[in-house]
Amino acid sequence: MNSTARSGLFGDLDVDVELDAPIGAHTWFGIGGRADALIRPHNEAALVTLIERCNATQTPVRILGKGANLLVADDGVDGVVIRLDHEDFTRLRFNTDGEVNRVLAMGGADLFKSVQELQRQGLAGFAQMTGIPGSIGGAVRMNAGGSHGSIGDCIQSVTCLDHTGQRLVYDRHQLEFDYRSSNLPDHLILSAVLELEPEDPVRLRTQVLEIFAAKKASQPMADQSAGCVFRNPRIDDERISAGKLIDEAGCKGERIGGAQVSMSHANFITTAPEATASHVQALMQHVRDRVEQEKGVILEPEVVIWSRTEQGAS
């Protein structure tokens, strides 16, 4: 991206810009390449104009959330990476539409912080997101969740910006959430309205602590990883644990370079300081090949991989 193109896209906008930005360091893996430009809009008006201009110039756009399920290839990505971490995009707004049980959660809001704040406010229905890293937008996009439920369980509506910058609102009756998926178009998720229920904050705190303790006991939460690497496959109309299949295929502890299949949960890949994105990709392929060979099951990645030929959101 030359200086003229940069100036035309965002030179006059209310944004923070980092050129040749090391976005791999912003992911939970902590590895990977750089972006031509990392842009942090200060408000929705600047965001909309930026998206409009990128669309008009056919400039690739990617949305970087908290990087929790993202691997950036070693050669990085082209175009523009947008991060919604300004205050306007990270808030929780209570009493939405005059309803005490409705909360407007902006797409850049942190899941960890949201769980804690909703617990303090005495609003139940979001504790299932305890211990799950990421942003509201990324979680809604993939219907993130676990054994206690998914974020789709409490979504009342979702507001998006399409590739032209047009604002679109999808109400609950238009939305379909399934295992790690939704029917939302491939748009930027600006916000979501959560439908929750009043509850005793003390009781909620106990619930959150119990869920967190269970996750801490079974997952490598202290290690550098991006959460579950593969989706749990459906076999004979039943979801089967990908971690169990990987373990039974003998992959626990296996390593390529600085990437290793976690000893505490086989569906996690952890990274050491010397790891590269290529190490993780090679280990993912090795695990897929081994599980297919030993168990006859083809695992589908849950981690999104960005490269100069592929796009995604996290």
Q: Please state, in angstroms and rounded to a whole number, the distance separating the CA atoms of residues 75 and 187.
A: 25
- The residue behind tokens 């912003």 is 26
Nearest Cα to Cα of residue 31 among 245, 232, 273, 241: 273
Give backbone dihedrals phi and psi of 159, rounded to 5 degrees, phi first: -110, 130
Q: Which two tokens stand for residue 19?
A: 């050129």
Burial readout 39-64 (b: 16 or more C-beta within 10 A, e: otherwise)? bbbeebebbbbbbebbeeeebebbbb
| Torsion sign (Cα): 40, 46, 48, 54 | negative
Please provide residue 173's backbone torsions phi and psi, each rounded to the nearest 5 degrees: -70, -15
Query: Alpha-carbon distance 114 to 151, whole Å?
Result: 12
Burial 18-31 (b: 16+ CB within 10 A, else e): eeebebbebbbbbb
Dihedral through CA 194, CA 198, CA 199, CA 204, nearest 10? 20
Query: What's the rounded Cα separation, in Å, for the pair 259 and 282?
Result: 9
- Distance in angstroms (rounded) separating the CA atoms of residues 286 and 292: 10
Active site residues: 180, 228, 302
